[in-house]
Structures are given as C-alpha cells and as structure tokens.
Amino acid sequence: MTTSPTKPETPSVEGVQRRTLAVLSGAQITGGVGVAVGLALSSLVVFKLSGSEAVSGLAGTATVLGAAILALPAAKVSGKGGRRAGLGLTYLAALTGCLISVLAITIASWPLLLAGLVLVGGGSAGNLAARYSATDLSPPGHAARHLSLVVWAATIGSVAGPNLAAPADGLGIDLGLVPTAGPFAFAAISFAVALLIIMVGLRPDPLVLARRHSGTAASAAAGSRTIRDAWDTLRATPAARMALLAIAVSHTAMVSVMSMTPVHLHHEGAHLEVIGLVLSLHIAGMFVLSPLVGWIADKLGKLPVLVLGMALLLAAATLAGTAGEHHVGQVTAGLVLLGVGWSCGLVAGSAMLSESVAIERRPAVQGLSDLLMNVCGATGTIVAGAIVGALSYGMLGLVVGAMVTITGLWLALRGRSGRIAPAA
C-alpha cells in the first residue's frame, strides 16, 4: 500500500509530456500559419503603402520587435501562472495585431500597419516560447529532441502559410476587403485557433507540474518577478551565455536576409507566387530537419551543432548575396541553407540554455533569451534595410557572412578551452 502511490507517478508525467507535445504541436501548426501568412506580405505591403525601400524593412523590424517586447511579459506570466497563461498572452496579442493590420490596410496607413505588426510579433513570441514549454517535463538528455519536435510541427503551417497568401487575398476581396487585407484577416483566424488550443488543451500545465515534482514551486514565482535573476544566472553559467549568443546571432542572420529577400526578388521581376514559393522553401529549411538536428544535438553535443549552424549560415549568405540578376534558383538555395543554419542555432542553443539552468530560473532566463534574440533580429532588419537601400543585397550577404564567421570561430575556441560547464 505504501509503494502504490509512487508507481503511477512516472507514467503520469510521461503521459502529460506526450499530451503537452501534442498540444504544443497543434498550436505551432495554426500559429505558424498566422505568422507565415503575415510575414510573406508585410514588407511588400508596407513598401506599396509607403513607396520607400527603407521603410519596407521596418515591417520585419516591427514583427521582430513585437516578439521581443512580448518575450518578458510572457515569461513573467509563465513564471507566475504557468506556460498556458504565457502562451495565451502572446497569441491574443497576435490576434489583436492582425485586426489592426486589416484596418490599417483598409485606410492605407503604413504607420498604423507597422503598429499592428508589432502585436503580430506576438505570434512569433508564442511559437518561440512553445519550444521551451516542451522541455519542462522532458527526461534528462532528451531536451533537444522534444524541443525539436515542437519546432518541427511548425513546418506544416509555416510552409503552407506563404502559399495561402494569394488565395486569402482573393477570398478577402470577394468578401469586401481591400487588396492585401485578406491574408491578415486569415492570420487572425489562425491565431484565434492557436489561442483556443492552448487554453483548452494545455492542462495540466507542464511548468507547474515540473516545479511540483522538483519541489521549487514556492521559490519559482519569486524568481520570475525580476529579470535580475536571469542576468545573475547567465553571469554564473558560461554554457547559458554561449547558448544565448548562438541563438541571437542565428536569428539575426536569418531575419536580416529573409526580410529583404521579397523586396529583392520583387525588384528582379519575380511574381508573388514565386516569392511565396521561395519563402516556403526557406521555412521548410527552418523546420523540416529540426528533429534530426535535435537528435544529433542530444547524441553528439550542442556545441558542435552550434558551430555547424554558423557554417551553414555563412554558406547561405554567400550563395544568396552572390546571386546575379534573375538567379532565383541560387537565392532559393541560399534561403534553404539559411533556414537549416537557423534550426541548428535555435534547437541546439535552446536545449543547451534549458539544460544549463535550474528550473526555478528557466522562465526568466528563457524570456531574456527571446528578448535579446528578437532585439538583435529587429536591429538586424533595420540595418539590412539600410544596407540594401544604400548599397545592395549582395553587401548584406557580406555583412551577415562576416558576423556568423566571427561567432562560429569564437564558439569553437571557447569549446576547446572547456569553459562551458554549467553552474553548479
């Protein structure tokens, strides 16, 4: 009788984890559709409304900045109330942003559209935060694999999303919306479904249950109230710092090149369907191989995968940046490699970050990681727009290539020195 209460405990946690991965995957699919549909046209719509290449780059900046702004509130809410509350906040913000974007396009106001896109960035914040939710109950040595399964689930929605932009636009026009407003209305529906999946399905909450089993529920809420705990943890944990840097650089490189590619292809005369296909293949590169990336990271180590990611990002920047006029195939190949390099940085870096930090500090550290990642990405899109507007798309590739080369060499040297052990 005394042993019977403890026997079901492990199967129960395993069952909750399976359910958690399924629910998070469902939200990733629908949320991925919303993010991808809006992302496919945002820079082009802003360009048409403003008539400025530099301003068009602010579209990507707005969504990335929105993801950054929402990262800390979502982390705080997660720290106090669990993952369900934090993810719900991000998808609700994205839904609101899509509705504002529809209004902005209707009245032809690019400043209001940029404001709406900031809130749309909540969808990216939610999809990024979902990957950490997958690690709360993962067994030791399986964090990258479980995390990568949730990242992989975004493949379906994210790859389909850009190709749904044109049909959604046509349907929106048929329903009385102005041109290019339909995709944002469709994205609003996608985020509403993701919100419903999280609020109904994510029970019990994985973070709350993980804290209950680790006996840290009381201190966890206190630790989540201030970002100072995250900085203190990072200062004491070299592995967490390296992971954060790799995540931030990978995301900056990916967002910078990807955000300016639609405008670059548009200037070369590519049709909307071609641009959508290129972005779909890029997004496939980001997500399709993520389970393999997670398996390799768990088996061979996170650091080698991070260095590999930087090498792939360098190859991507070189291919895309050196593509001559009308070489859509070479740009596409570069964008696919860009996605795979990003996957290496995100999956291996996020798993390394989670495994190196105690569970009572994870929401704060993970929120800070997403904040810095997206701030760097937003800065990258601003600089990318300026570089392409003043110089060329090829020069953007050169700058990104230099950044990832320096980071990859630094990671390799730090790994050789052995200074990556987690804090005790």
* CATH number of domain containing 94: 1.20.1250.20
> In degrees to the nearest 10, what's the CA dihedral of 284, 128, 301, 241?
130
Determine the pLDDT at residue 3.
Answer: 47
Determine the pLDDT at residue 223.
Answer: 43
Q: Is 289 helix (H, G, I), strand (E, B) or coil?
A: coil
Cβ–Cβ < 8 Å for 375, 130: no
Q: What are phi and psi of 203, to 5 degrees?
A: -135, 125
Question: Domains in the chain: how many in total?
Answer: 1
Task: Say if 260 falls within a structural domain.
Answer: yes
pTM over 0.85: no
Task: Say if 1 falls within a structural domain.
Answer: no
Burial of 217 (0-12, 13-18, 19+ CB in 10 A): middle
Task: Say if 288 falls within a structural domain.
Answer: yes
Determine the pLDDT at residue 342.
Answer: 94
Closest by Cα among 245, 248, 265 to 415: 245
- DSSP code string of 329-394: HHHHHHHHHHHHHHHHHHHHHHHHHHHTS-GGGHHHHHHHHHHHHHHHHHHHHHHHHHHHHHT-HH
Of the chain, the end-to-end C-alpha distance in Å amounts to: 37
Helices (H), 107-142: 110-133
Determine the pLDDT at residue 116.
Answer: 94
How many other C-beta atoms lie within 10 A of the C-beta of residue 4? 7
Closest by Cα among 107, 98, 123, 106 to 42: 98
Locus of tokens 């950054």: 68
Cβ–Cβ < 8 Å for 135, 302: no
Task: Say if 2 falls within a structural domain.
Answer: no
Task: Say if 65 falls within a structural domain.
Answer: yes
Closest by Cα among 119, 38, 116, 66 to 283: 38
Task: Say if 270 falls within a structural domain.
Answer: yes
The domain containing residue 125 runs over which residues?
Answer: 9-417
Determine the pLDDT at residue 219.
Answer: 47
Determine the pLDDT at residue 417.
Answer: 59
Q: Is 327 helix (H, G, I), strand (E, B) or coil?
A: coil
Task: Say if 152 falls within a structural domain.
Answer: yes
Determine the pLDDT at residue 364.
Answer: 83
Q: What are the residue ranges in the chain where pLDDT is below 70?
A: 1-11, 158-159, 215-226, 262, 264-274, 324-326, 416-424
Cβ–Cβ < 8 Å for 249, 310: yes
d(CA 341, CA 353): 18
Task: Say if 257 falls within a structural domain.
Answer: yes
Distances (CA, A) of 30 to 126, 147, 217: 11, 18, 31
Q: Is 405 helix (H, G, I), strand (E, B) or coil?
A: helix
pLDDT, tens digit (0-9, with 9 covering 90-100), for 375-407: 888 788 788 878 877 787 778 888 898 999 999
